[in-house]
Amino acid sequence: MLNKTIIALTLSLACLSANTLAKGQRPTPPSFSEMDTNGNGTVSLEEFSNTKLPPGLDASTAFGHIDSDGNGELSEQEVADFKPPRRAKK
């Protein structure tokens, strides 16, 4: 009985996820204020490391790409200005 329940929940979640992707909706990135957990107006690598990133993306590498002035902190402007690279079409 428990196995049937787990299977049913798994299938339901899979369908919801598929519907979201089929509608063209993408997960939204966290806002700057959500990343700036200590509220000091900048995001450190430690704060950024607590952000959920897409699978296979290293927080340190992503942080380095966004930190355009290389000062070790992300400003709200740097986050707003950053445009992630587009994935290659298959």
Domain boundary assignment for the chain: 2-81
pTM over 0.85: no
Q: How far is CA 3 from CA 8, 10, 27, 51, 62, in A?
A: 9, 10, 30, 33, 39
Runs of H (alpha helix) within 1-90 = 2-22, 32-35, 45-49, 59-66, 76-81
Specify the CATH number for 2-81; select among 2.20.28, 1.10.238, 3.30.70, 1.10.10. Answer: 1.10.238
For the stretch 30-66, pLDDT in tens is: 899 999 999 999 999 999 999 888 888 899 999 999 9
Checking if the pLDDT of 72 tops 90, the result is yes
Tokens of 53: 């990133």
